[in-house]
């Protein structure tokens, strides 16, 4: 059995908070208004930056939740990164905090002074369900006025959003009604979405599902490549390192840089060595798991169902199924 160890961190992000003004239906981390109103603590931030540097990371991005719900605390995070010689590639925002131009420019000027250079601005029908387009346009203009670079994610949807009243929010049903029945599935060709978190619930009814047996046959290898990939990882405010894009799985940041003990990380050890086939076998044999769906989009869909079942059964042999809100909130 091979050791699972995260030796070097390349490029990742800090999740400063999970609470959010939006409840986007594609959100990988299930952020939203229902989360505790907690933001990353200064001591936690310092510790995280130290570990990042120790393992070779030189730049990060900052996301949430919505980081700009608490701009003063966001400034502290940016300043901590600067003191640690870690560059901030960009900060993500859904623009919900925008009220009017002057206050937006004041906020962004303070962030720029602290070290912010680029703002990733979410532009999509998913965000427009909760954030009126005038707010997005307001933040775009405030960036231009304050000299902050814009990373539009993604500009291709600007035309779609422009077809609706910018002062109001608009549901995905409205987009489907206007652009046609294939609009939702068509988004997958225009916008990169990982099938995890809420995206599974959103797309499961409209995407083809595969029988359990086919999922296992097609994914006979282990999950080591995904779990070991440090090109786009995240570390949250609870000091959880989230391997790859596996939201709901956690490694304590203190355990990075050394082999993970099987006793502390039994599920991750199984996934790393035996993949989804091994996890399914253990879940059925040891915990009484029975698949409840008539098929799965992919192995991540099945893995999420197994992990959710284990949380519901009060599985407490490790700390790797965290944060618990991921499994309990819709």
Question: What DSSP string runs through 212-241?
Answer: HHHHHHHT-S-SHHHHH--SSEEEETTSEE
Helices (H), 84-148: 101-114, 125-128, 133-146
286 lies in some domain: no
pLDDT digits (tens, 9 = 90+) for 59-79: 999 999 999 999 999 999 999
Q: Is 116 helix (H, G, I), strand (E, B) or coil?
A: coil
Residue range of the domain that includes 186: 12-192
Residue 46's φ and ψ, nearest 5 degrees, are: -60, -45
State the Cα angle at 116 between 148 and 43, rounded to 5°. Answer: 160
Domains contained in the chain, number: 1
Query: Can you tell me the distance from the alpha carbon of 182 to that of 317, in angstroms, rounded to the nearest whole number?
Result: 44
Mean pLDDT score of the chain, rounded to an integer? 96
228 lies in some domain: no
171 lies in some domain: yes
257 lies in some domain: no
41 lies in some domain: yes
Model pLDDT, residue 292 = 85
103 lies in some domain: yes
- The domain that holds 125 is classified in CATH as 3.20.20.70
Residue 308's φ and ψ, nearest 5 degrees, are: -65, -40
Other Cβ atoms within 10 Å of 10 Cβ, number: 14
pLDDT digits (tens, 9 = 90+) for 101-149: 999 999 999 999 999 999 999 999 999 999 999 999 999 999 999 999 9
299 lies in some domain: no
66 lies in some domain: yes
CA of 133: how far to CAs of 150, 180, 195, 220, in Å? 16, 21, 26, 45
């Amino acid at each position: 059995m091979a050791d699972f160890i995260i030796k070097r961190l390349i490029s990742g992000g800090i999740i400063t908070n999970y609470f959010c003004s939006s409840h986007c239906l594609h959100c990988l981390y299930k952020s939203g208004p229902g989360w505790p109103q907690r933001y990353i603590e200064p001591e936690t931030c310092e510790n995280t930056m130290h570990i990042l540097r120790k393992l070779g990371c030189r730049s990060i991005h900052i996301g949430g939740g919505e980081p700009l719900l608490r701009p003063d605390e966001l400034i502290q995070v940016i300043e901590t990164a600067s003191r640690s010689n870690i560059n901030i590639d960009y900060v993500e925002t859904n623009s919900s905090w925008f009220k009017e131009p002057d206050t937006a420019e004041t906020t962004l000027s303070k962030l720029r002074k602290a070290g912010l250079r680029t703002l990733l601005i979410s532009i999509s029908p998913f965000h427009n369900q909760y954030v009126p387009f005038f707010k997005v346009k307001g933040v775009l203009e405030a960036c231009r006025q304050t000299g902050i670079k814009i990373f539009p994610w993604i500009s291709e949807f600007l035309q779609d959003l422009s077809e609706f009243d910018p002062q109001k929010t608009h549901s995905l049903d409205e987009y489907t009604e206007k652009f046609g029945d294939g609009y939702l599935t068509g988004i997958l060709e225009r916008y990169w979405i990982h099938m995890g978190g809420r995206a599974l619930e959103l797309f499961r009814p409209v995407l083809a599902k595969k029988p359990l047996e086919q999922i296992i046959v097609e994914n006979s290898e282990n999950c080591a490549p995904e779990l070991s990939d440090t090109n786009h990882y995240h570390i949250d405010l609870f000091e959880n390192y989230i391997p790859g894009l596996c939201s709901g799985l956690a490694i304590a940041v203190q355990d990075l840089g050394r082999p993970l003990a099987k006793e502390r990380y039994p599920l991750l050890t199984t996934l790393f060595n035996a993949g989804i086939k091994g996890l399914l076998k253990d879940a059925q044999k040891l915990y009484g798991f029975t698949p409840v769906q008539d098929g799965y989009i992919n192995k991540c869909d099945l893995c999420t169902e197994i992990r959710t079942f284990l949380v519901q059964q009060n599985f407490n042999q490790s700390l790797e199924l965290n944060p618990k809100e991921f499994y309990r909130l819709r």
